Structure 1
């Protein structure tokens, strides 16, 4: 859950420049799985304390759901990682040239500005990509050749001057930077999702045995069959057995054959 929350809160500014919502979906799924883990943990703890088999059945069903959810998040992150490079190359340049600076796409404009400032880059592949931008070719650009967010020191209309001393000139442009950033986070989310899911599978068996032992405790047996005391009078229907019953202090009944 922490990985998903961190990804969305700290890095959500770049999500609007992506063509696919898979990156955000993987983070949301991890958050959901983490919240479900918290609820399931309380349920399992209460079930063991109260020794209720029905609650334990629900607990193990929820564990299965969590396993599947985390596995899905991990697989989604891994699949998106495989096609990340192609998507960025096809979509990011189109976003910069067609959507940046448009009234209907202010969120994209803010994302691109933050992207270029955070990664110290300009354009999808280079600053030359802005030459064909709808925004740069419009009157709103006021003579800018690149957006002001390309500047090393952002001031009004600093994008009018594209000298390397004024704007970022990064080999590979923003695509290379963003691809590396997303790849690292996708690998982390995939590893967390699949790793925790596999860990749960290995732990379910131990939890199952522990819960069964808890449900088979002397207190629960006493509630079901009643306490056995050494000073209790023998029951009539037990007197005909060919061997005596010897109750122990732990409420378990031991059967010993009669010696001949």
Structure 2
């Protein structure tokens, strides 16, 4: 009877090892996906981050990148710990899983918080940024971001094209009597911003604020979903790790 129980426990341990190995392989792939989402968020639309007064959006993405790197390393460590049956490695693996879990939950929470305050931030800051900093000294990154925003989202001004009437640059001689920047034009060319007419420039209801807000909200949903989703999956990994650890502890050395 004792031999049967010992054999049964050994079979259970083997099953746990293969379950945990499979989990770690999938976890390693998930780490790559998490890191890719973070890099995509930062790299694909990095210009727009300069138009935001808050750094929460960027911080959420950087947390995902860090978590993704640690996840991939942890996945390899988990495989080693599983097959070598080292309790010390399993403890380290569990602690890393818990750390990553907290990181990804934090990214998800930050994304949710910023999602709630995004509209207020854009209304308070985007217009001021565009009016006061566009084509001003040492503000090339803002100028590039605004031009890209207006061309990519086919909009003009923060709320409407009339916002540009208060622009420091438009009021200066450098504007050469332009009414709006050339990036407002449907077919951009030098000094095309001289003519403020719907046939020439973008007249979008809600202006660039609405366009940028919708874009960032979609990204925040992805960041939040990925962070919380992977974190939930990690709970399964922690349960498997605890079960294997207890199983190894019960076996003779």
Q: 1:3-53, CA deviations, whole angstroms, 9 ceiling, x for partnerless residues?
A: 111111111121100011110100000010011000111111111222211
Whether 2:246 is the aligned partner of 1:193: answer: no
Rounded Cα–Cα distance in structure 1 between residues aligned with 2:239 and 2:141 = 48
Q: 2:162 aligns with which of 128, 138, 145?
A: 128
Q: Contact between 1:135 and 1:141, CA under 8 Å: does it hold in 2?
A: yes
Where 2:169 maps in the other structure, the secondary structure is coil
Aligned partner of 1:77 in structure 2 is 111
Rounded Cα–Cα distance in structure 1 between residues aligned with 2:185 and 2:178 = 11
Rounded Cα–Cα distance in structure 2 between residues aligned with 1:154 and 1:211 = 65
Q: Contact between 2:108 and 2:228, CA under 8 Å: does it hold in 1?
A: yes
CA displacement at 1:213 relative to structure 2: 3.9
Whether 2:188 is the aligned partner of 1:140: answer: no
Where 1:104 maps in the other structure, the secondary structure is coil
Rounded Cα–Cα distance in structure 2 between residues aligned with 1:140 and 1:215 = 76
Aligned partner of 1:245 in structure 2 is none
Rounded Cα–Cα distance in structure 1 between residues aligned with 2:200 and 2:226 = 41
Distance 1:177 1:113, change over 3 A: same
Q: Contact between 1:48 and 1:211, CA under 8 Å: does it hold in 2?
A: no
CA displacement at 1:113 relative to structure 2: 0.4
Rounded Cα–Cα distance in structure 1 between residues aligned with 2:174 and 2:94 = 60
CA displacement at 1:94 relative to structure 2: 0.1
Whether 2:45 is the aligned partner of 1:11: answer: yes
Q: 1:102 aligns with which of 136, 141, 151?
A: 136
Q: Aligned-residue CA RMSD in angstroms?
A: 1.4
Rounded Cα–Cα distance in structure 2 between residues aligned with 1:32 and 1:211 = 27
Structure with the largest fraction of helix: 2
Q: Contact between 1:121 and 1:170, CA under 8 Å: does it hold in 2?
A: yes
Whether 2:186 is the aligned partner of 1:160: answer: no
CA displacement at 1:216 relative to structure 2: 6.0
Q: Contact between 1:48 and 1:215, CA under 8 Å: does it hold in 2?
A: no
**Normalised TM-score (structure 1):** 0.81
Aligned partner of 1:22 in structure 2 is 56
Distance 1:92 1:216, change over 3 A: same
Aligned partner of 1:39 in structure 2 is 73
When Rg is computed on C-alpha atoms for both structures, the one with the higher figure is: 1
CA displacement at 1:208 relative to structure 2: 2.5
Where relative contact order (Cα < 8 A, 6+ residues apart) is larger, the structure is 2
Rounded Cα–Cα distance in structure 2 between residues aligned with 1:162 and 1:188 = 37
Aligned residues: 219
Whether 2:238 is the aligned partner of 1:204: answer: yes
Stretches of structure 1 that go unaligned for 5 or more consecutive residues are 225-260
CA displacement at 1:211 relative to structure 2: 4.8
Higher mean displacement: 45-54 or 166-175: 45-54
Rounded Cα–Cα distance in structure 2 between residues aligned with 1:48 and 1:149 = 57
Whether 2:36 is the aligned partner of 1:2: answer: yes
Rounded Cα–Cα distance in structure 2 between residues aligned with 1:193 and 1:91 = 28
Q: 2:207 aligns with which of 173, 189, 193?
A: 173
